[in-house]
Structure 1
Amino acid sequence: MDKIFIVMDYVEHDLKSLMETMRGKKQVFLPGEVKCLMTQLLKAVHHLHDNWILHRDLKTSNLLLSHKGILKVGDFGLAREYGSPLRQYTPVVVTLWYRAPELLLCSKEYSTPIDMWSVGCIFAEFVTMNPLFPGKSDVDQINRIFKDLGTPSETVWPGYSQLPPVQKLTFAEHPAGGLRQRIGPDLLSEMGLALLQGFLTYDPTRRLTAEVALEHAYFKEQPVAIEPAMFPTWPAKSEGGRRATHSPRPPAGGAAYAQFARSDSDEALGFHVQKGRSVSMAPGFSLKF
């Protein structure tokens, strides 16, 4: 009686590995298949949020797909309960490529919209078969987001100018509209683009919720979502083949936040600045003096 055994369902695929296999064979998800996956993902996220749970690490490698076309959300290592009123939580959550801009810019409060930003990144990945914002660092990540979505302002994101890095750094000005250039109409309809933009909205209070997204016109236009049982099948990862590439590791969570809690310095914000001289931060970034 000194051991505990956890028995869970066997699910044949994680979507990250499956999509890598499909890419190697030049295969893509058809629109009806994308809608099938997204409908299930949104229902799962709505269920979590409706039960006061933030997942805080939604990404394709944490989504499982069975041979019966059933999508399941896994890996709750960074999940936590939340409540009203909101408390301050660690911003060191969500794997970098799927991390919302309010986390990248060190907002002290966040809620369910951080999961919805991740859902938007996953949606784009289903459509293009590639990560949307594969940043190499926090600075590179926010620069990639600004380049495709446009540099935010107080008009589109009230409170943006008060975020700590924004007060210390000058960001390059990018116009909006780059998302359509990245994802053409042959890959995503106008309704689909509108849904994606709803997920990738800068202002967290205006970002789509899972419940509202499920009623979006995108899911009603042709072709509609296929039934999960009609989803094509692929050999399971356990039946051979290896992962070719890896997304970044998830953040360590609360323990890694200790340095942030103790200091408001540039280093604590994740932006390392050498004092007493002009420093080039990264493409599109310069210091305010």
Structure 2
Amino acid sequence: MASKSRWATDDDPETEAILAQRKREKDEKRRAKAEKQRQLDEQQAQAQAQAQAQQQPDPDHPPKKRRRLSNDQDQEKEKPSQTPPATSKNNEPTILSFPTQEWGPCRNVANFERLNHIEEGSYGFVSRAKDITTGEIVALKKLKMDNSPDGFPVTGLREIQTLLEARHQNVVELREVVMGDKLDEVYLVMPFLEHDLKTLLDDMSEPFLPSEIKTILLQVLSGLDFLHDQWIMHRDLKTSNLLLNNRGEVKIADFGMARYYGDPPPKLTQLVVTLWYRSPELLLGAEKYGTEIDMWSIGCIFGELLTKEPLLQGKNEVDQVSKIFTLTGPPTPQTWPEFRSLPNAKSLRLPPTPSTASSTSSPPLLPRTKFPFLTNAGLHLLSSLLALNPTSRLSTKACLAHRYFREDPRPKPKEMFPTFPSKAGMEKRRRRETPEAPKRGQEAPKLDFASVFGGEQGEQGEQGAGFTLRLG
């Protein structure tokens, strides 16, 4: 005798009939929406066919001869050997047509069945959905319009523009933009990936293996190298913005703070990058910066993959600077010559440093006790990414060619990468509280870093970590 399912219910036939009727009504509404969209597509195709038919020349009524301009006469004199125009069988000129990009209305979000909500980011709500036409599972990101009463948010425009230009295997793909019933309902359709690294690290009992860390880093650096070659800064790299599927593929996502830059770099806002992944020059008020801020975030991600915990968890900007100097040591004229020129560095009182305390390595190596299982090559790579001086940080190409990725254990092939149960496919992700990315339009606060090295409290009342250094 077959065992009864524990999900079975003992409802009476009347209740079952009501539920079946509701299901039939829902299916009918869905089919009606699909049929409406199909008719709309057919009408658009017919309109395009009619427009193309009107452009074809009529043999009974050839096009009128346009008025010859003086510039045309000069060009004919300069090019006497020009080939004659194309003619038809009746020796009548024909119009050449070239394929061009066709513009049309966006599809409606009703073509997608939303399955469950995944998470809320700084600039949008992400849901898992199914394309009714193809049955494919995708990710729908609804852009936030709350902070843009005057029009479409610039963060959404930048994300759409960047994703359309950044076609790379390690960058999330933007498939299309769909609209809702209102003008403020704009959705980005992207492939669905099962995991993000932040959720995985929170749920894993042990960190990734060294070979797996190398596989992840190589893919992130490859995608970031492509972005930097296209003159794009991501400006919000963190583990929650790195997506992983069950085939071992890592993709960079969430381009709400991405920005094109130039050489020399323009004056930009310093209020970018989530606090725990923000570089020291941004915290100290730098107004001109480049891709070095992304490389600092890569160093923080590298350290988080090693320890399974965010490397620098500051409570505020002052505490963040304090934790950075605790890990790297205070800046010196040898390690960071331009340090004092930053706006917020004037209030920072550094401890006295002996003249003989300058490090022989450039940049100085991080403490070995913090990363006991990391090889010498790995420690050099991490120290080069977390260098206080932005000019000392390695570029993406230098990182990809680093000896750390060539030593044993070698990077694990993607096909051999482990798989994990997907939280995004079943329920809303639950994470520990982490700081959010800065909102657009916020003004950078004026900070007093006098308390970082145990000095008196600044005017803002911000407290640093208050550690003391013993040199010599």
Q: Given the two structures, how large is their TM-score scaled by the length of structure 2? A: 0.54
Contact 1:57–1:78 (CA under 8 A) maintained in structure 2: yes
> Could you say which structure has the higher helix fraction?
1
Q: Secondary structure at the match of 2:303?
A: helix
1:7 aligned to which of 171, 189, 197 = 189
Corresponding residue for residue 50 of structure 1: 229
Cα distance change of structure 1 residues 28 and 279 upon mapping to structure 2, 3 Å threshold: closer
Q: Output aligned runs, 1:257-268, within 5 Å.
A: 257=443, 260=444, 268=445
Partners of 2:457 and 2:217 in 1: how far apart? 43
Asked if structure 2 preserves the Cα contact closer than 8 Å seen for 1:151 and 1:173, the reply is no
Q: What does residue 279 of structure 1 align with? A: 457
The answer to whether the 8 A contact 1:116-1:199 is kept is yes
Letter aligned with residue 227 of structure 2: L
- The yes-or-no answer on 1:153 pairing with 2:325 is no
- Return the letter of the residue paired with 2:412: I
- Give the corresponding residue for 1:66: 245
Q: Secondary structure at the match of 2:438?
A: coil
Letter in 2 for 1:193: L
Query: 1:81 & 1:173 partners in 2: Cα distance?
Result: 40
CA 1:167–1:46: 2 relative to 1, 3 Å: same
Percentage of identical aligned residues: 42
Among residues 366, 369, 379, which one is paired with 1:181 in the alignment?
369
Flag structure 2 segments of 5+ consecutive residues without an equivalent. Answer: 1-104, 109-178, 180-186, 358-363, 451-455, 468-472
- Indicate which of 430, 441, 447 corresponds to 1:270: 447
Whole-angstrom distance in 2 between the partners of 1:171 and 1:133: 20
2:136 corresponds to 1:136: no
AA in 2 matched with 1:279: Q
CA distance in 2 between partners of 1:125 and 1:279 (Å):
31
Match of 2:285 among 106, 119, 127: 106
RMSD: 2.3
Aligned length: 267
Q: Distance in 2 between matches of 1:252 and 1:241?
A: 23
Match of 1:250 among 437, 451, 464: 437
- Select between 49-58 and 157-166 the one with higher mean Cα deviation: 157-166
**What TM-score comes out, normalization by structure 1 length?**
0.86
Counterpart of 2:297? Answer: 118
Which has the greater radius of gyration?
Answer: 2
For residues 52 and 171 of structure 1, the distance between their equivalents in structure 2, rounded to whole angstroms, comes to 36
- 2:203 alignment counterpart: 21
Q: Shift of the alpha carbon at 1:6?
A: 3.0
Q: CA deviation at 1:161?
A: 1.5
Contact 1:172–1:284 (CA under 8 A) maintained in structure 2: no
Q: Can you give the 5+ residue segments of structure 1 that lack an aligned partner in the other structure?
A: 261-267
- Distance between the aligned counterparts of 1:279 and 1:33, measured in 2? 44
Task: Give a deviation string over 1:126-151, Cα, whole Å, max 9, x none.
Answer: 11111100111000001001011000
Q: Which has the higher contact order (CA 8 A, sep 6+)?
A: 1
Q: Deviations over 1:231-260 (max 9, x none)?
A: 10000012358424132100113x113xx5
SS in 2 for 1:108: coil
CA offset digits 1:58-102 (Å, max 9, x no partner): 000000000000000000010010011211100000000000000
Between the aligned partners of 2:449 and 2:408, the Cα distance in structure 1 is: 49
Q: Tell me how far 1:171 sits from its aligned partner.
A: 3.9
- 3-state SS, counterpart of residue 7 of structure 1: strand
Partner of 1:34: 213
CA shift for structure 1 position 108:
1.7
